[in-house]
Amino acid sequence: MKIFSEELVGSVAREKHIANIEQATIGEVLLIAQTLEDRTGIPFIRMDQGSPGLPANMIGRQAEKDAIDRGVGQHYPAAAGVPELKTATEKFIKAFLNLDIPAECCLPTTGGVAASFGSLTIATQLDPGKNKVLFIDPGFPIQKSQLRVIGAEWESFDIHDFRGAALRDRLEQVLSKGDIAAIIYSNPNNPAWICLEEDELQIIGELASRYGVIVIEDLAYFCMDYRRALGHPWQPPYPPTVARYTDNYIIMLSASKIFSYAGQRVAMACVSPALFNRTYPTLAARYHDAGHFGTTFIASIMYMITSGVTHSTQFGLAAMYEASVEGKIDFVEDTREYQIRAQKMLDIFKRAGFTMPYDKDPVQGDIEGGFFFTLGYPGMSGGTLMKELLYYGVSAINLATTGSEQEGIRACTSRMRDELYPVLEERMMTFKADHPVC
């Protein structure tokens, strides 16, 4: 039996001006779930929004408070970022990615969202003939919304059927038209938690170089592929990155998930040194500067958007990077709780007859889930599944809203709590009984 009636859910949706529940955005889904919780007192299993479910890192918090005490609040932060953070980022990247990106190429931004906004802005201004962005979907809907603000176009395809060597032809098909300025994806992937592998990144990198395309690689869930022993400083294995295969990249490293630091809004945009030092006449003409990519990105674009990043927070992130490099923070172990939750939740869902639309990487094999995983149910569209689950007190988002062509939902583990597993179990067994698979 349903916990929340169709009538009740429908009336809350109407009240909140949500026209189509099946296509609801994250914000709309959480509004429905919160309202139902408030109105009935019955708790939801909240798998909708990806807000960290762990305390913000203590070393970062202490460093921020120390910086405030030292009086950094008075002074504008340097446009290029505080030197302590820039050098710590260089070290962090060397220790955990085995890449050489000099400090000057590493720019703090007001969260990964600002890194992405600035990267998409500059990438679509380099060549008047190239104003489109290619999304290797499924992806983060906000990045498409950013292009609406900027006024640029996009194309996308679902990676699901183009893993491994099949990626080359699919990419070539889009890039050969010559109007793509940038390729963007996240790895591990939000929402599907698949991980692009070395040979796939090699294809992306090679084609990016050939077609003069900037790759914007979102490493928001850095080293959170828990299947591998990542995240040990100075020791392989290192996570895969397109940076090994092209000079045309910007890597985005957010502090939100790996240090549970989403509230303070800080990330790093790390530009390939070759790209950083390239000169573009189009930039020079637009910004009346020398057209040097790195300088324009920092001084003529990012500085004009926020004039730097909260001063104390930069020292917080610097301290967390330093501590990670020294082995005093193990950010992979610190977030492994998400993997544990994913395994327990997947176990319940699978026993209730659910499937995983994104279930395999070509080499690494089975997807085990982490911060996210995907779910499908036989014979049900993603929209129907999302709506049906609301009746059983489980909120998630429809994969269709992430550019996926698979029928299913994204489940986020961040808000799961120990006492909710039996509740989820009971609700999903009822769901199974109510929705027999023929």
- Binding residues (CB under 8 A) for a copy of itself: these are 17, 27, 49, 51-52, 54-56, 60-61, 64-65, 68-69, 71-77, 79, 110-111, 113-114, 117, 121, 142, 145-146, 148-149, 151, 256, 260-266, 286-288, 290, 299-301, 303-313
CA angle 62, 63, 65 (to 5 degrees): 65
For residue 427, the minimal CB distance to a copy of itself (Å) is 26
Give whichever of 5 and 307 is closer to a copy of itself, judged by the CB atom: 307
Give whichever of 118 and 393 is closer to a copy of itself, judged by the CB atom: 118
Euclidean distance between CA atoms 344 and 213, whole angstroms: 41
Give whichever of 246 and 256 is closer to a copy of itself, judged by the CB atom: 256
Q: At what angle do helices 26-40 and 6-15 cross, to 10 degrees?
A: 120
Give whichever of 52 and 205 is closer to a copy of itself, judged by the CB atom: 52
Give whichever of 162 and 287 is closer to a copy of itself, judged by the CB atom: 287
Euclidean distance between CA atoms 224 and 129, whole angstroms: 37
For residue 64, the minimal CB distance to a copy of itself (Å) is 6
Euclidean distance between CA atoms 144 and 156, whole angstroms: 10
Give whichever of 239 and 308 is closer to a copy of itself, judged by the CB atom: 308
Q: How many residues does the chain have?
A: 438
Give whichever of 8 and 299 is closer to a copy of itself, judged by the CB atom: 299
For residue 151, the minimal CB distance to a copy of itself (Å) is 7
For residue 437, the minimal CB distance to a copy of itself (Å) is 35
- Residue type (1 letter), 82: V
For residue 319, the minimal CB distance to a copy of itself (Å) is 13
CA angle 113, 116, 119 (to 5 degrees): 150
For residue 325, the minimal CB distance to a copy of itself (Å) is 21
Give whichever of 150 and 423 is closer to a copy of itself, judged by the CB atom: 150
Copy the structure tokens of residue 260: 């549970």
Q: From residue 206, how far is each of 160, 168, 203, 248, 315 by CA, in Å?
A: 21, 10, 5, 10, 36
Handedness of CA 37, 413, 342, 337 (dihedral sign): negative
For residue 280, the minimal CB distance to a copy of itself (Å) is 14
Helix (H) or strand (E) holding 153: strand 153-158
Give whichever of 241 and 414 is closer to a copy of itself, judged by the CB atom: 414
Q: Is 159 helix (H, G, I), strand (E, B) or coil?
A: helix
Of 335, 372, 339, the C-alpha closest to 356 is 372
Q: What is the dihedral of CA 16, 19, 22, 25, to 10 degrees?
A: -60
Handedness of CA 9, 14, 16, 20 (dihedral sign): positive
Contact indicator for 357, 390 with CB cutoff of 8 Å: no
Euclidean distance between CA atoms 86 and 102, whole angstroms: 8
Give whichever of 401 and 406 is closer to a copy of itself, judged by the CB atom: 401
For residue 293, the minimal CB distance to a copy of itself (Å) is 15
C-alpha Rg value of the chain to the nearest Å? 22
For residue 327, the minimal CB distance to a copy of itself (Å) is 22
- Residue type (1 letter), 266: V
For residue 403, the minimal CB distance to a copy of itself (Å) is 15
Give whichever of 56 and 103 is closer to a copy of itself, judged by the CB atom: 56
Euclidean distance between CA atoms 360 and 362, whole angstroms: 6
Contact indicator for 164, 202 with CB cutoff of 8 Å: no
For residue 119, the minimal CB distance to a copy of itself (Å) is 13
